[in-house]
Amino acid sequence: MTLWHGRFGDGRPAEELLAYTVSLDYDSRLAADDIAGSKAHVKGLTAAGILDDPEAQILRAALDRVADEISTGSLVFKAGDEDIHTAVERRVTELAGALGARLHTGRSRNDQVATDLRLFTKRELRSVAIRLHDLQQVLLARAEQVGDAYLPGYTHLQRAQPVLLAHHLLAHGWALGRDIDRLEDARTRMDVSPLGAGALAGSSLALDPRLTAGELGFATCFENSLDAVSDRDFVAESLFALTLAGIHLSRMGEEIVLWSTDEFGFITLDDAYATGSSMLPQKKNPDIAELARGRAGRLIGDLTGFLATLKGLPLSYNRDLQEDKEPLFDALDHMSRGAAAMTGMIATATFNLDRMRAAADTPFAAAVDLAEWLVEGGMPFREAHAVVGGLVRDALERRVPLGELVEAHPSLGAEALALLEPGVAVTRRTTRGGAGPGPVAVQLQRFATVLADTAVRLGTA
């Protein structure tokens, strides 16, 4: 029997209707939140004088029992169970008899599902944020461990200037920090209970949405019942925050793919975090990094697909909104698994510091230092740039070492030659937030402080 059979004739809903509209196979993930929502609603009904205490007690016990059955996997779903809300109510009615029929008083699945999904999303975003924080901690640990090791910094994927490896690692760490902030910020905005909005307009019964909001741990409750049942901004925002975090993982993934090639040779992945080839015995492949790169495409699809679902929907609830769950669940799953896999891979990888250093120790990497040295002697930068540019071109064309030309140049000479010594250029990046050992030491401390604060915010300290 459906929840809505009264209005309909004796015939059963068409098989095709059920097959097409059913959401139980995925929305059963909301079971625990659905039960929490129903328990709060029982409280609301009691406060409103619609249930007496013994009745409420029976309903609560039935809801607890259903929760147990769901967690042990013993709840048997039935053919008419359209969604998790229907399944729970059907089972409560089997257990509590006639009283079960009172559970849905003053409530609609419209405010119910919105409540469930907010509770669920608040919790799950927090757990993704915790995983991203774990990844930040690994980046910090690795950054501290590699000391003053350096590698080429790139622009246009061309070697540009040497940077500390710690600096490079923390660049990704700061991006993840913004992701955590966005997830937490979205959580704050979604902390509004829709329960009590009913189907769309509230109720004639003496139900108080503030009471159930408090019961469920929401910061506040809705101001407008139409908005309450039709608002899925929180899903869209969550998807954006998750997708951008996924894009950050994809960028890290791409670098690991490059760094683990023979051509770069900057990183060697631990065997446990790499895969082999079914045909080529010598292969060791960075599949986690590649999937972090590839899955970003799917996250973008989750986000844009859902935005398209929302576009043009009239107030208030429309069944289209059932399409909120699958993209959200997909994005949450991929982000939490992706972050965990990247964390393990980076924690266990070996950085090939000699290869990095050798790649960074080209005299050309110090070109700007030569120009800045001339600037310190009073030459306008544009002129200095042209002088050094000319030397570089000359060195390449005539195949002579840049150092020889520097030493012979009247404005440069032996003193400037010292700038080309291996390892010198990176030490000259001294400005705040720069890539050299001085500012990076400061940055490491600031990053560690931010991570400690984040742990407090996320409740993992």
So which residues are the catalytic ones? 156, 277
If one asks whether residue 429 binds ligand ARG (CB under 6 A), the answer comes out as: no
Question: Residue type at 188?
Answer: T
Considering beta carbons, is residue 41 or 109 the nearer one to ligand ARG?
Answer: 109
Among 322, 343, 352, 454, binds ligand ARG (CB under 6 A): 322
Considering beta carbons, is residue 110 or 121 the nearer one to ligand ARG?
Answer: 110
Considering beta carbons, is residue 33 or 83 the nearer one to ligand ARG?
Answer: 83
Backbone angles phi, psi at 163, to 5 degrees: -135, 155
Among 39, 104, 107, 109, binds ligand ARG (CB under 6 A): 109
Q: In angstroms, rounded to a whole number, what is the distance separating the alpha carbons of residues 130 and 459?
A: 9
Instruction: Kindly give, in sequence order, each residue whose CB lies less than 8 Å from that of residue 233, ignoring residues fewer than 6 positions away.
Output: 189
If one asks whether residue 319 binds ligand ARG (CB under 6 A), the answer comes out as: yes
Q: Interface with ligand ARG by CB under 6 A: which range of 317-325, 339-347, 348-356, 376-384? A: 317-325
Tell me the DSSP string of 112-167.
HHHHHHHHHHHHHHHHHHHHHHHHHHHHHHHHHHTTT-EEEEEETTEEEEEEEHHH
Q: Interface with ligand ARG by CB under 6 A: which range of 33-41, 97-105, 292-300, 313-321? A: 313-321
x-marked contacts with ligand ARG along 112-131 as a string, rule CB under 6 A: -x------------------
Considering beta carbons, is residue 259 or 317 the nearer one to ligand ARG?
Answer: 317
- If one counts every other C-beta atom within 10 angstroms of the C-beta of residue 166, the result is 27
Residues 141-160 binding ligand ARG (CB under 6 A) are none
If one asks whether residue 321 binds ligand ARG (CB under 6 A), the answer comes out as: yes
Q: In angstroms, rounded to a whole number, what is the distance separating the alpha carbons of residues 416 and 403?
A: 9
If one asks whether residue 432 binds ligand ARG (CB under 6 A), the answer comes out as: no
Q: In angstroms, rounded to a whole number, what is the distance separating the alpha carbons of residues 245 and 90?
A: 39
Of 304, 309, 308, 302, give the one whose Cα is nearest residue 329: 302
x-marked contacts with ligand ARG along 54-93 as a string, rule CB under 6 A: -----------------------------x----------
Of 87, 76, 79, 90, give the one whose Cα is nearest residue 116: 87
Per CB under 6 A, residues contacting ligand ARG are 23, 27, 83, 109-110, 113, 317, 319, 321-322
